[in-house]
Structure 1
Amino acid sequence: MKNSTTILLLLLCATISSAQSFNNEKIDSLFTLLEHNDKFMGSIAISENQKTIYTKSIGFADFENGVKSTIATKYRIGSISKIFTATLIFKAIEERKLELNRTIETFFPSIKNANTITISNLLNHSSGIHDFTRDKDYLKWNTSMQTEEKMKERIANGETEFSPNEKNEYSNSNYLLLTFILEKINKKPFSKILNSLIINPTGLKDTYYGSKINITENESFSYKYEGEWKKENETDMSIPQGAGAIVSNPSDLNRFLEQLFLGKIISEKSLKQMKTITNGYGMGIFEFPYDEKVSFGHTGGIDGFTSVSSYFPEEKLSISLTSNGTNYNNNNILLAVLATYFNDEFELPNFDRLELSSEDLDKFLGKYSSEQIPPKIDITKDGSTLFAQATGQGAFPLEPTEESVFTFDQAGVKIVFNPSEKTLILYQGGGEFLFKAE
């Protein structure tokens, strides 16, 4: 459910050769490394021609009580829910209950520009509607039940980001509004619409609209890593709904995408519209390139859960990864899996950790600012662990790889300190940013 700045869009680049036998042993070695170094907890499933060729699960569904996850463990899938919601919208269009060019003022008269915002704008994030998850006080109320009226009020009170069709910018508000539209035109709750039109017809056994996490139902809690796994708070599912409230596992997600792309849920025409990419955005779906190959899917993130589900139509290949705790970049895992499938080489990561004492970290502490980008970075410590916190964001742990070099693999962050100059250089996403201590 996280906004587009935090979603990994998986721009996968590698040399491809034809798929032969899948090297289970090498991928097993990768997951063993990840588990032993507290880098990842979660599950993966790979399916070819509707047959599962690899599954794996590592870590704990309930870390505090030592409950290990299995391939049947279920996870909150965050924004992958949007593929389901978009599919339901196209079902409604096929049933002549909606039109893509219909404006939303009859549903939401209090929303700015409602008379020019269309269903299509909501689907491909070109509405300009403010994303409620970016509200400064979001984390103060996201664990409490919210009514439909309250959420519509929050969205209506948000500032308009841009005029409809001016550009595309990710907003969870779009898909919450689509949820409310589906409920109005179908005269039933979203969960029942989901069950009757997707889950039951496609035979999904472990997918449903979520509620409070229940370990006895083979669900998982989510975690962040701060020297050890620490449980995250639970977003109340009355908030994300069709934008991020679905629970599933990799095998079910693969089956859903297979059924969708085989024309078992919506028509070929509707699927083509979903896959039409404008300024990087489809309608409930993204395009993920892997060299000359193309897959379609979505990423997800909610609380400590992260996920990705993707389908390669030409190869009839499905890959889904769900995590309830990650201290590593999920994109690197997928690169390794795809390299293995396409018979490419990849190197196993090296997680050798440099041991530094609490006193060793003192020379790095302070508040740093940059002339290149607005956020400041606070560098603090807790015992022998260094933490970084950008303005308006949560703190994250840094791992030393050299005496003055630290990384945060989950977000692809590398920080190089120069204590004598009282500076640091932040490397992320191909960018290089100089910060000076204040």
Structure 2
Amino acid sequence: MKNKHIITLVSLVASTSIFSQSFNSEKLNQYFENLETNNKFMGSVALSKNGKLIYTKTIGFADVATKQKTNENTKYRIGSISKTFTTVLVLKAIDKNKLNLNDKLSKFYPNIINAEKITIQMLLNHRSGIFNFTDGNSYYEWNTQAKTEKDLLEIIAKNGSDFEPDTKTSYSNSNFVLLSFILQKVFKKDYSALLKEYITTPLNLKNTYFGGKINPKNNEAKSYLPKNNEWKEEAETDMSIPLGAGGIESTPSDLVAFSNALFGGKLVSEKDLDFMKTIKDGIGNGLFQFPFYDFKGYGHTGGIDGFTSSFTHFDQDDVSFALTSNASNYNNNNIAIAVLSAVYNKDFEIPNFKIYQVKPEELNQYIGTYSSPQIPLKITISVKDNVLMAQATGQNAFPLDASEKDVFRFDKVGVVLEFKPTEKKMTLKQGGGEFNFMKE
């Protein structure tokens, strides 16, 4: 629900590709075994072609303390992928004449600033201007505590507005919490019941439901963050807070089934699906667009506590992919690239996690602030406890591991920094892009 330090610069480059008729899972299995051996990722993936699962893989633990291994039925919190489910429910409400895209927020919650100007559609495509409450300075002081509808409405109202409605796009969890409350009002049912009635029961998604307190005995995964080469259990957001913005639990296999149903016309009409896929200022209605070579996919990503997730569907070759993770010290986008490369018969590398030993006194030669004419981003390099740290403009500092002489990496977001100390130069590599920096 709330992003942390991530440098996102480049998507995949365009190229032509032909679907691999004989899917070879051997290299992909080696890829995941490498991640598991190096303690980089715990989670699960699923891949389908023409509506049939062709690959699943699960690594890691649902509960580190008890060494409870995960399996294909282990449930993970999927965070903001919940918004795609909520969008489907809103469209169901519209079909039943319980809502209209032009309905004003003031019809339901007149105390929200600009409520008389904000429509249901503006909530769906993040053009309401309502401040994202999970960006509030005190959010992590209360996110583990149960909140009522009244509590959350007061928090959203108090935070106010960032801009005039429908003048620009800005992602806000507040929009989908409000939509959740509106759905409950017009249907006179809890969100969890609506999810079950209109999506999970018709699609037989047995491992998808609105979450509660995490229970490993129910094969639900706890989440973890990396700390000192170990996994530290993350605090749980109380599910009364995210609701339809981020409160659903699921598995990759269920997410793939949901994806196939959504894009196969089993959940919404073709007109409604086109509406969901309509992108404005980078955001659709419950969907984002994801490129892979010359293919165009649609889906959503999610993140809540230590959980991360994503799902994408490509109409070309009818491919759906889903990933769920309860612990990651690696760039999940690289994992998605590897899986999709395998299915589309493209080459991909098994990552090398070797560590190059650097003497503490050698780290000082990299210290400084670097800027680039290519992007409006400065990166400050410092040393803390004999570890090289990097901090990009407006983001948190993150530690760097040396992989070879003058080369450092941060696997979680796929960043590689190559230094030329004598020339005061640094090259940032990420997602296929290269950006040249000079020390100021």
C-alpha distance in 2 between matches for 1:133 and 1:435: 35
Q: Give per-residue Cα distances to partners, 1:48-85, cap 9 Å, x unaligned.
A: 12211111011111122222211211111111100000
Which residue of structure 2 lines up, in the alignment, with residue 208 of structure 1? 209
Which residue of structure 1 lines up, in the alignment, with residue 33 of structure 2? 32
257 and 110 in structure 1: CA distance in 2 versus 1, 3 angstrom threshold:
same
C-alpha distance in 1 between matches for 2:400 and 2:69: 26
| Residue of 338, 341, 347 corresponding to 2:340 | 338
Which residue of structure 2 lines up, in the alignment, with residue 299 of structure 1? 301
Which residue of structure 2 lines up, in the alignment, with residue 322 of structure 1? 324
1:9 and 1:299 in contact (8 A); partners too: no
C-alpha distance in 2 between matches for 1:111 and 1:46: 42
Which residue of structure 1 lines up, in the alignment, with residue 54 of structure 2? 53
Which segments of 5 or more consecutive residues in structure 2 lack a partner in the other structure? none
1:326 and 1:410 in contact (8 A); partners too: yes
Which residue of structure 1 lines up, in the alignment, with residue 2 of structure 2? 2
127 and 431 in structure 1: CA distance in 2 versus 1, 3 angstrom threshold:
farther
User: Are residues 1:68 and 2:69 paired?
Assistant: yes
CA RMSD across the alignment: 2.9
Which residue of structure 2 lines up, in the alignment, with residue 12 of structure 1? 12
Q: Give per-residue Cα distances to partners, 1:181-225, cap 9 Å, x unaligned.
A: 111111121111111111111100101111111111111111222
276 and 80 in structure 1: CA distance in 2 versus 1, 3 angstrom threshold:
same
Q: Give per-residue Cα distances to partners, 1:146-197, cap 9 Å, x unaligned.
A: 2222211221122422222212111111111111111111112111111111
1:16 and 1:339 in contact (8 A); partners too: no
1:426 and 1:435 in contact (8 A); partners too: no
C-alpha distance in 2 between matches for 1:67 and 1:268: 43
342 and 432 in structure 1: CA distance in 2 versus 1, 3 angstrom threshold:
closer
C-alpha distance in 2 between matches for 1:234 and 1:418: 43
C-alpha distance in 2 between matches for 1:139 and 1:376: 27
User: Are residues 1:244 and 2:252 paired?
Assistant: no
Q: Give per-residue Cα distances to partners, 1:267-310, cap 9 Å, x unaligned.
A: 22222211112222111011212233222110111111111111
C-alpha distance in 1 between matches for 2:7 and 2:128: 19
TM-score, normalised to structure 2, is: 0.89
| Residue of 280, 283, 293 corresponding to 1:281 | 283
More off after superposition, 205-214 vs 62-71: 62-71
User: Are residues 1:221 and 2:202 paired?
Assistant: no
C-alpha distance in 2 between matches for 1:11 and 1:309: 16
Sequence identity percentage: 50
1:361 and 1:381 in contact (8 A); partners too: no
The amino acid of 1:304's aligned partner reads G
The amino acid of 2:46's aligned partner reads A
Secondary structure of the residue that 1:273 maps to in structure 2? Answer: helix
Q: CA deviation at 1:252?
A: 0.4
Q: Give per-residue Cα distances to partners, 1:25-56, cap 9 Å, x unaligned.
A: 01111111111122211100111122111110
Secondary structure of the residue that 1:181 maps to in structure 2? Answer: helix
Q: CA deviation at 1:9?
A: 10
2:62 and 2:221 in contact (8 A); partners too: yes
Secondary structure of the residue that 1:183 maps to in structure 2? Answer: helix
Secondary structure of the residue that 2:183 maps to in structure 1? Answer: helix
C-alpha distance in 2 between matches for 1:414 and 1:159: 39
The amino acid of 1:399's aligned partner reads D
Which segments of 5 or more consecutive residues in structure 1 lack a partner in the other structure? none
2:419 and 2:427 in contact (8 A); partners too: yes
Which residue of structure 1 lines up, in the alignment, with residue 410 of structure 2? 408
132 and 431 in structure 1: CA distance in 2 versus 1, 3 angstrom threshold:
farther
Q: CA deviation at 1:406?
A: 2.1
C-alpha distance in 2 between matches for 1:22 and 1:169: 39
C-alpha distance in 1 between matches for 2:151 and 2:434: 39
C-alpha distance in 1 between matches for 2:65 and 2:381: 30
The amino acid of 2:384's aligned partner reads K
1:327 and 1:409 in contact (8 A); partners too: yes
Secondary structure of the residue that 2:271 maps to in structure 1? Answer: helix
